[in-house]
Amino acid sequence: MPAMRTVAGATVARSPIPYVTYVLVAANIVIFAITAVQSKSLVDNYYRSPLFARWVLVPDLVADGQWVRVLGAGFLHWGPIHLALNMFALWVVGRSLEPALGRLRYLAVYLVALLGGSAASMIFQDSNAAAAGASGAVYGLFGAITVLLIRVRQNPNQMLILIGINIFISFSLPGISLSGHLGGLLAGTLATLGVLFVPEWLRVGSQEAARSIGWASIAAVGFVDLLAIGIAAAALA
């Protein structure tokens, strides 16, 4: 019998447990714990932590060739409250989104959104300003689940209101990277549109071709992320 597939074309997992979401949450917590131990402070974990200093996103340092920061910064957090808010949002959204997209597509969308947030921060924030957090990736998942709700013909208004509230908070409070949030939101939304809608818009009849187009869409968004980061780094060099 043919394998059962989700709306995204992923094979329906035998277990509904969102393992990738749990691994991402665990990775963020472990990295936070390392920075807290290094700094000897749970609240000021960014202070005198070598790992935090090596990974935090500073555009000038990325321009010097330290590209690990565009990915590593997405796993750093400024204190336990910042970590808790992002991990709670990741857990709430991820446990619904991961089974629908499939584990690999879900992880790819998360990483593409993370890079999208880094790209926007590179372009729009001060060249010597520091940015960190999983917020860009989480905003990307907000956009992804909104696209999913539209695809399955459910009302997306609650997600749209939640996104609007979060953008307003990001805009209103100092010290929050609005550009990073919006960059992640845009990247995650576009990548998920490519998975869920582009094959239908192109009237692709084959499921295999539809899956290939979805992966190509995610790859294209990731390529644009990296290209934007490279252009911004070259401009600062």
Q: Does 1.20.1540.10 match the CATH number of domain 19-236?
A: yes
* Residue 219: other Cβ atoms inside 10 A: 14
Residue 170 is predicted with a pLDDT of 81
Task: Round the average pLDDT of the chain to a whole number and report it.
Answer: 92
Q: Which pLDDT value is given to residue 177?
A: 82
Dump pLDDT digits (tens) for 195-217: 999 998 998 878 889 899 999 99
Question: Which single residue is written with the structure tokens 């729009």?
Answer: 124
Judged by phi (left if over 0) then psi (alpha if -120 to 50, else beta), residue 229 lies in: alpha
* Residue 15 pLDDT exceeds 80: no
Query: Does residue 22 register a pLDDT over 80?
Result: yes
pLDDT score recorded for residue 13: 65
Ordered by start, the domain boundaries in the chain are: 19-236
pLDDT tens per residue, range 41-79: 999 998 899 999 999 999 999 999 999 999 999 999 999
% of the chain residues with pLDDT over 90: 76
Beta bridge partners of 11: 5
Full-prediction pTM beyond 0.75?
A: yes
Compute the radius of gyration of the chain from its Cα atoms.
18
Amino acid identity at 118 = S
**The pLDDT value given to residue 12:** 66
**124 close to 180: Cβ distance less than 8 angstroms:** no
- pLDDT, greater one: 14 or 90: 90
Three-state SS sequence of the chain:
CCCCECCCCCECCCCCCCHHHHHHHHHHHHHHHHHHHHHCCCCCCCCCCHHHHHHCECHHHHHCCCCHHHHHHHHCCCHHHHHHHHHHHHHHHHHHHHHHHCHHHHHHHHHHHHHHHHHHHHHHCCCCCCECCCHHHHHHHHHHHHHHHHHCCCCCHHHHHHHHHHHHHHHHCCCCCHHHHHHHHHHHHHHHHHHHCHHHHCCCCCHHHHHHHHHHHHHHHHHHHHHHHHHHHHHHC
Q: Which residues contact 115 (CB under 8 A, 6 or more apart)?
A: 70, 71, 187, 222, 225, 226, 229
